[in-house]
Chains A and B, each alone.
Chain A
Amino acid sequence: MDAMTGRTATVPAISARGLGKRFGRIEALADLSLELRRGEALGLIGTNGAGKTTALTLLQGLRRADTGRAEIFGHPAGSVAARRHVGITPQNADFPEQMSARDVLAYAAAHFERPQPVGELVAAFGLERLVDRRMDGFSGGELRRVALALAFVGNPDLVFADEPTAGLDTGGQDMFKAYARAYVESGGSLLLTSHHWDEIEHICDRIVMIDRGRLLLEGTLDDIRRNAGRNRISFRIAESAPVPSWLDEHFQREGQRWSGVSADSDGLARRLIADLPALQDVHIEPLDLKETIAQMQMERTI
């Protein structure tokens, strides 16, 4: 990344305009435009079948778009010039079983000008014990670790990670989150799809949400939470204290604890304080990403 040319330093890592793709009668993606800047992590989210993988394959140049155009650091997606900047985690880690992890990492490294030392990646992804063994005996999680290391072995400027931690244990997931965030902070660009919302929140600066092939929502995590404007309020009431009837309109009760989501959390908190002298242990906190999106979908604001 340090030796990036002036050209790559100024142009976006990904620039896509009006991407569309049909498979027969099914419109997998329609008019998708997005941009990923250098040193930014973008989360591409959506339900199964939303069009995430189609979008990724078009951006990676592994399929041709029916409409629109995608560029990687100013080069047409899929061109050799674009691929020099890119590292990809294979979604299905079905490596040739006769090969060792070191064989495959060395093979990938040979394609890049300034690859990362294989030893560093082996340590970073916890492969020390496995690296020289044939992969036919690897568990799904172990193969996934090799797949993650493969994305970074070329020391790429942009990494596409398609559900990178599927099948990984929590230790592996934490390891990837830390590595990916450090990669982005050192100037790398990352496009991540994941069904692990905490992973998106931890790594990504911005998200793009698609549904049935169409862009549904785009923005930084802070913007989305701010625009959603919802906070969770939770509190307890002393056992013997009277409970005002209006609480049921806004809150659910679980044991002694009440909680609810509100667009006017400050106003609601003031009302609680005024009406409930026995109020205890009040918390007001922003919704996490998953809750925010669910709330927006429930309120049909997206």
Chain B
Amino acid sequence: MAILRANLALTFKRLLRQPGFWVPTILFPAMLYAFFGAQNAGGGIAAVYAAASFAVYAVLGVAFFQFGVSIAEDRQSAFAVWQRSLPARPFASWTARLCAALVFSIAAVALVLATARLVGDLHIDAATQARLLAVCLILAVPATFMGTALGYLASRHSVVAVANLIFLPMAYLGGLWVPPPALPPQIDAISRWTPTRHMGEAAWAAVDGRSIPHTSVAALLVFTLGFFALTWLAYSCDRHARFG
């Protein structure tokens, strides 16, 4: 437990003392919702959907920028190599990273919902909010694998650019900024093959009180397994290159 506590303290202190991380990951989704999401949606159910979309966008942001960027930056540092000499298995540091991701995801989603209430004059009942939050935490799993795979594939110098190049188009293609019915037909056709679209479908179902469409459940399972396999492959290659 002492080792886990030490890893939690290290992880949270590093992230909290780094505004470059928590400002974009926690504040930007709420800001973007306030500037664009709420206004474009107008009101009613469209505004609720928009809030759910930006909640998913927030989860993706944590995954890409906490896992993707921080893993790429850490894994090539001498400090990370030195950490491997400590008498602990990687479990503690992974658990700490995961806890931090969950806390930051919850904070980012909560801020989107609070902004929706404040700016969009949106009233979502507590049960719906809890359902959306629970779905977002589940969606954090495939998102985390996406971010982690990126962290092991990109170099520390390129990772921020690569993360943005994937994250922003994926958010657009998934219908998180512009609702799918408003997407051009060609984009909508592509959208159906993206993980972000199915994440969005899950979040929209949560605020609707519907069950998640089977196709989206299946797609999310496939994406989760696929990103897990990619993460494992990238991790193994990186480990072999640096420690083999």
Give chain A's interface residues, CB within 8 Å of chain B. Answer: 60-64, 80-81, 83-84, 86, 88, 90-96, 98-99, 103, 106-108, 110-112, 134, 150, 154
Contacts and interface: CB of A to CB of B under 8 A. Distances in A.
A98 B18 contact: yes
Nearest to B7: A107
A111 B3 contact: yes
Contact of A90 (B2, B81, B88, B243): B81
B14 interface: yes
Nearest to A112: B87
A60 B6 CA distance: 22
A296 B108 CA distance: 67
A60 B81 CA distance: 11
Contact of B9 (A92, A107, A150): A107
Contacts of B81: 62, 90
Interface string B81-105: 1101111110000000000000000
Contacts of A96: 10, 14, 79
Contacts of A95: 79
Lowest 5 A-B CB distances belong to which pairs? Answer: A110-B6, A98-B17, A92-B78, A83-B87, A90-B82
Interface in B3-53: 3, 5-7, 9-10, 13-14, 17-18
- SS class, residues of chain B in contact with chain A: helix
A134 B13 CA distance: 11
B85 A86 contact: yes
Contact of A64 (B13, B14, B243): B243
B185 interface: no
Contacts of A90: 78-79, 81-82
Contacts of B87: 80-81, 83-84, 86, 111-112, 154
Contacts of B2: 110-111
A62 B10 contact: no
B172 to A, nearest CB: 32
A88 B18 CA distance: 27
Contacts of A93: 78
B211 interface: no
Contacts of B18: 98
Contacts of A154: 87
B244 A88 contact: no
B13 A99 contact: yes
Contacts of A81: 87
Nearest to B73: A96
B82 A110 contact: no
A59 B14 CA distance: 30
Given A110-B5, A110-B6, A91 B78 contact: yes
Contacts of A88: 82, 85
Contacts of B164: none
Given A62-B243, A110-B2, A111-B6, A99 B88 contact: no
Contact of A98 (B14, B78, B244): B14
B223 to A, nearest CB: 32
B85 A107 contact: no
B77 interface: yes
Given A86-B87, A108-B86, A150-B82, 8 more contacts: A62-B81, A62-B84, A80-B89, A92-B78, A94-B78, A96-B79, A98-B13, A103-B9
